Every structure is written in C-alpha cells, then in structure tokens.
Amino acid sequence: YLDTDEAEEFIDFLLSNERKSEALIVSDYVMSLHPNDSVLLIQRATFLVELRRLEEARDILKQISPFEDGNPDLYLAWGDLHVQDGDIETALASYDKAVECENIGTDNYYETLLMIACRLNRDDQYAHCFKYVDLFLEGRPHDPDILFEMAYALDKVGKEQESIETYLEVLHYSPLSDISWYNYALLCTRTGKLEEANVAFNRAIALNPDFPDAYVNYGNFLATSEKYLEAIAQYATYISMVQDSETFDPSVYILVADCCFNWAYLEREKLIQEDTSDNNAWYQVPVPEPQRTMYEIALEIYKISYSFNCEPIRSLLQGADISSLLGDNNTAIKLVEQAIKEEPSYQGSYFMLSCMYERNNDAEGTMDAFIRGLSINPKDVRTWIEFARLCLKYTESIKYTKKAVDLYREVAFKNGYVPETRFGDVFLMYLSGQPSKIILEILTELRDIFPEIFCEACYDASFREMMRKHPYIDLLNDNE
C-alpha cells in the first residue's frame, strides 16, 4: 500500500531517472488505490501527455478541471497537452493561468515559471521560453537554474554568443554544474573556441564521471583535432559504461573504427611521402606495423558496426578499403558487392568496385563496374573525366578492342550525351595527343556555354592539371 504523498514522490523519482515503464506500472497501481485523488490524477495526466497518450490525458483533465480551478499544476498539465496538440497559443494561455494562480514573489511563483521554461525547452518551443525567463529574472536575476534554461534556449534560436555568455554566468553562480560545463563545451566546439572546449569537457567529466554523452562528444572533439588515440580512449569509456544498457548507442563503434582508420592512414601517409622509389602508388606501398595492426582493428570494428546496422553501406565500404590496403582485394570486392546488393542506387559503391578491379589489373571488371556507376548519375562531370582516363588505359584490352574515343562516346550516347560528357571527351582528346588548337576551341566553347559545369570540372585534379598548361592556362585564369 502507498499513501498519496508516497505514491507521488515514488512516481516522480522513477520519471526523473527515465524509468518510464516502471513509473507507468506504479501509476496504474496507485490509481487503483486512490482513483479520485486530484494530485495523482494531474500527475498521471502529465505523464500520459509525455507518453503521447493525449486522449486519456484529456479525459482526466476534463474530469477534474471543475474541482481544481485554482491549481497551477492543472494549468501546467493543460499547457503540456495543448503543446502536443500543436495549439501553442492556447498552451501559452494555460501556462499564463498557472502563473496567475501563484502569489508573485513566492517560491512557488518562481518554481512555476521555471517549470514552464523547462517544458517549453523540452518541447522545442524555445522562442516562447524567454517571456517566463524574464519574469523570473525580474525577482531573482542570478538564479543559475533559470539562467541555464535561458542559455539553452538562446543556443537553440541561433544566438550562440549570447548563449556562451549566459552559460558563463551560470557557471559563475553554479561552478559544479556538470551539464552546464558540457553544454558550454559543445558551444565552444561549434564556435571554434577549442581551448575553452577542451577545458569544459574535462571539467564536465571530472564533476560527473558517469556522464556517457560527455565521453562521446569529447571523443568527437578530439577526433576533429586529429587526436585519434585520445578520442578512442573516450569512446571506449562510453562503451564500457553503457554497452549493456537500453541507452547504449552502437553507432559509437563506427566512430572508434574511423579513428583507428584515420590514425593508420595519417601515419602511412608520412611513409608514402618519404618513399623515393619509382613505383609509389599509394595502394602499393606496404603497410608496416603498427599501422597494419590498427587497420586490422578498424576492420573488425567496422564489422561490429555493420552487425548493429550502423551506417551499413559505409561500414562495408570502409571494410573493403581496408581489406584492399592489406592486400586482400578479393575480400574487398565481396564487401563492395554486398554494399551494392543492399543499396543498388549508391553510385560510390560502383566506383569503389571499379577501383578494386583496377588494383587487381582486371580490365573488364574495372570498366564494367565504372559504367554501371555512371548510369546512376550521368550528370557528374568529374566521373566522366575519370572514365576518359580509364578508356585510354584499357582500350585494346581483351574485351575492349575499340579506340578509346569510340568506347567513350558509345557509353556517353547510351547515357544521353549530357553536357558533362563533353568535358571528359575533350580531356580524352588531350590525353591521346590531339592538336592543342582543336582542344582550345572546344574548351572555349564549353566555358562559354556551360560555365558552371566548366567550373566543376576544374575542381578535378587531372582536368585542372591539363588546364594549367599552355595554351589553356588563360581559360583557367579567366574562370578563377
């Protein structure tokens, strides 16, 4: 048996700890004990609104409204219900009525204003929050709780600098607020205040070592600063803390895998830059330890992220990339084919498959995969430039016995010979040694007729290298 006060406190405790299913069970039981208690009925209606069981909540509030006319909690509940109904004007009128029920300047008055501000922020009604914040601050200008709601709302309406200043004020009066340090850290990260963000993340975690989100976002912060090993440590703490709970977000696995991959990639880039051999294609440079070990770890974690269905296509393609780097192109091809099977319309998978076949010196596989990818989005000028290169490389192979230009134009016409194909065509003419005068005339025409596509083509490294050479340099300079 629970009396009404015990029941109300018990349900509030469960709700404050996000134990909603248990709170609902207790509420059902308590209402069987006290079916006519107004306080418990209002609490239940408020809870039902949160669960989006609006009609049940409405029936309860209609039932008790005639008897609770001066009860601010009743109008708070009605306000919550109207917000969920999408009737913001009526919701605000209900909230105003709740404020009117309190005596100005009392603790209950300020508590009601704070509750309204909290609920408006919770329900994404940030712009309406400021009215109740201002009323609160008129009597208590330095209260950290209401200042926190103000800072949060300012951030959400795009006033980042004002939000930062308000969070600093909150921290001045409440320096042990871990959530304030955390939100301040996120704001500083977004606005480029990296030193402040680093300090704020560390303080949030120091104040509350059991703060899962802080570890994830601090890891994100470190990863963007290319401190990949430190980021992995933060993600690992998060995983060990909540992996067995309902709140665990398995997408953190892909963050860990990305950090492992990026660390190994950057370390390997240094070796490639130091390699003075004649044959230093990046995928042919052997992967030494410990980079190889880190790639292998990344591969295993991408498998885990795929098992949780976290960005499955990217998990498969990243796994394929790593497998190829480690010399296992056959596994890489299988992973890419699996990605294509799961999402046939993603163009990037076909281009990666083409790349894998190219590394295997498989001309037919390279060309077939690339042509399949082209058909998905033929209006990408940079893919046509790459296709021109492939045509020149693989003509007169076992399957493609045509001249490069003929093969290129055959595929172009099958895809509607869109304007983008002409840029690849002229690039192929350049690669195959056609006269500069003819190429210059075509380039000039393309620049004048399709300036936007011309500009996009110039972002391609190979096309841009061509444009840097005389006599095309003037066109490039005019474009810039």
Kindly tell me the burial class for residue 411, based on how many C-beta atoms sit within 10 Å of its own C-beta (0-12, 13-18, 19 or more): buried
In this model, does residue 106 exceed pLDDT 90? yes
Whether cis (ω within 30° of 0) applies to the bond prior to 471 is yes
Q: What is the pLDDT of residues 142-189, one digit of tens each?
A: 999 999 999 999 999 999 999 999 999 999 999 999 999 999 999 999
Tokens representing residue 355 in the block: 């790349």
Q: Residue 348: its pLDDT value, please?
A: 95
In this model, does residue 440 exceed pLDDT 80? yes
Whether cis (ω within 30° of 0) applies to the bond prior to 141 is no
Q: What is the DSSP string of 218-281?
A: HHHHHHHTT-HHHHHHHHHHHHHHHTTSTT--TTHHHHHHHHHHHHHHHHHHHHHHH--SS---
Q: Residue 278: its pLDDT value, please?
A: 54
**Residue 27 and residue 48: Cα distance in Å, rounded?**
10
Residue spans of alpha helices (H) in 65-211: 72-85, 88-100, 107-122, 126-139, 144-156, 160-173, 178-190, 194-207
Q: What is the pLDDT of residues 41-98, one digit of tens each?
A: 998 999 999 889 999 999 999 999 998 888 999 999 999 999 999 999 999 999 999 9
User: Is 314 in contact with 255 (CB distance < 8 Å)?
Assistant: no
Q: What is the pLDDT of residues 424-433, one digit of tens each?
A: 999 999 998 8
**Residue 315 and residue 302: Cα distance in Å, rounded?**
5
**Residue 83 and residue 85: Cα distance in Å, rounded?**
5
Tokens representing residue 328 in the block: 């296992």
Q: Shortest CA distance to 133 belongs to which of 116, 108, 155, 109? A: 116
Q: Residue 111: its pLDDT value, please?
A: 96
Q: Residue 275: its pLDDT value, please?
A: 62
Q: What is the pLDDT of residues 293-306, one digit of tens each?
A: 999 999 999 999 99
pLDDT band at 32 (very low <50, low <70, confident <90, very high): confident
**Dihedrals φ, ψ of 154, to 5°?**
-60, -40
**Residue 475 and residue 480: Cα distance in Å, rounded?**
9
**Residue 308 and residue 124: Cα distance in Å, rounded?**
30
Amino acid at residue number 422: R
In this model, does residue 11 exceed pLDDT 90? no
311 sits in the region (left: phi over 0; alpha: psi -120 to 50; else beta) called left
Q: Residue 443: its pLDDT value, please?
A: 95
Q: Report the chain's C-alpha Rg in angstroms.
A: 31
What crossing angle do the helices spanning 212-224 and 252-274 adopt, rounded to 10°?
A: 20
Q: Shortest CA distance to 213 belongs to which of 184, 190, 242? A: 242
**Dihedrals φ, ψ of 289, to 5°?**
-80, 150
Rounded percentage of the chain residues whose pLDDT exceeds 90 = 74
| Cβ-based neighbours of 264, under 8 Å, separated by 6 or more | 287, 291, 292, 294, 295, 298
Average pLDDT of the chain is 92
User: Is 77 in contact with 48 (CB distance < 8 Å)?
Assistant: no
